[in-house]
Amino acid sequence: MKRIPQRTCVGCREVLPKRTLIRIVRTPEGIRVDPTGKAAGRGAYLHNRRTCWERGFKGALAHALKIDLSDSDREVLHRFVETLPEESSPSDPANIAEQEGAWS
């Protein structure tokens, strides 16, 4: 049986298969999102959830990459976060209707 690499989201600390997380890599040119997961450089992983990214910005991401995030690095990452889907809370009326429909 083939071993599936596991990685930890630096935002929520959940361990998941590497392919399900987004890799952020530190390169000599700066920080960037690595969609291939194979770019050279020190990497850190985050979910595609905005809450994980917000926690990561509070220090966990910089700690994992072993750098201080510059303003330009933060701007690059914030632009990527804006492309992520909006999260809705479980108490959102649309979610409640979906959940009730699933139970019917």
pTM: 0.79
Cα 11 to Cα 51: distance, rounded to the nearest angstrom: 8
Residue 90: pLDDT band (50, 70, 90) is very low
Which architecture, in CATH terms, is 6-87? 2-Layer Sandwich (3.30)
Cα 58 to Cα 11: distance, rounded to the nearest angstrom: 9
Structural domain boundaries of the chain?
A: 6-87
Give the pLDDT confidence score for residue 75 in this predicted structure. 93
Residue 86: pLDDT band (50, 70, 90) is confident
Dihedral angle sign, alpha carbons of residues 49, 55, 58, 60: negative
pLDDT digits (tens, 9 = 90+) for 29-84: 899 999 999 999 999 999 999 999 999 999 999 999 999 999 999 999 999 999 98
